[in-house]
Amino acid sequence: KITIGYLVGTEAKFLEMLDLAASDGNAVMLSDYNVLLNKPSLVELSRSKGVDVGAWTIDNAYILQKIKSIGITRFMSNRIKEAQ
């Protein structure tokens, strides 16, 4: 089974694509981390619809800790060692 990732860069696009992701039944929302930090309620909304959330692009430990504090455990990075 393949998981589909919906890559979004704005809150509006996140909300637009969330119902589609939920209807897929095996999807994850992949968002610019700034969107999630500015509107952490998107994480709860997404999960209430059965869709997990990941963040991109996290390249430092400070941002990683902030993302983890709102419940994000999936993330993309260009510099994984620096983000840990």
* CATH number for position 13: 3.40.50
- Across the range 10-28, mean pLDDT stands at 97
Count of H-run helices and E-run strands, the chain: 5, 4
At 46 the pLDDT is 98
At 83 the pLDDT is 60
**pLDDT tens profile 25-84:** 999 999 999 999 999 999 999 999 999 999 999 999 999 999 999 999 999 998 866 665
Q: Which residues does 7 contact at the CB level (< 8 Å), separation at least 6?
A: 30, 31, 56
At 79 the pLDDT is 81
Query: pTM for the complete prediction?
Result: 0.89
Q: Which residue has the tokens 């393949």?
A: 2
At 15 the pLDDT is 98
| CA distance from start to end of the chain | 29
Domain count, the chain: 1
User: What distance in Å separates the CA atoms of residue 84 and residue 81, rounded to the nearest whole number?
Assistant: 5
- Residues paired with 75 in a beta bridge: 55
What domain range includes position 28? 4-83
pLDDT at 23 over 90: yes
